[in-house]
Amino acid sequence: MKQTEETQQTDYMDSAIDVEAGAELCSGRYKLLKVLGQGGFGITYMGLHTGLGKTVAIKEYFPKDVFRRMEDGT
């Protein structure tokens, strides 16, 4: 079955939602706290820069050219 652009975008969105609060990124440098919002281009999370103890915004983009996940889902 051939996927449409809309179906592909939905697949990316379903995959992105699988990231749970508390997930660590960049070898533990950042920690996801919660989802702030999501739309057609991606999801914005509230995160924590663990080294600085500062709150940051982390964006995850859906377009196939830039959307990549590691095997552990992060």
DSSP 6-39: HHHHHHHHHHHHTPPTT-EETTTTEEEEEEEEE-
64 Cβ contact list (under 8 Å, min separation 6): 8, 12
Is 2 known as a binding-site position? Answer: no
Return binding residues.
59
Return binding residues for ATP.
59
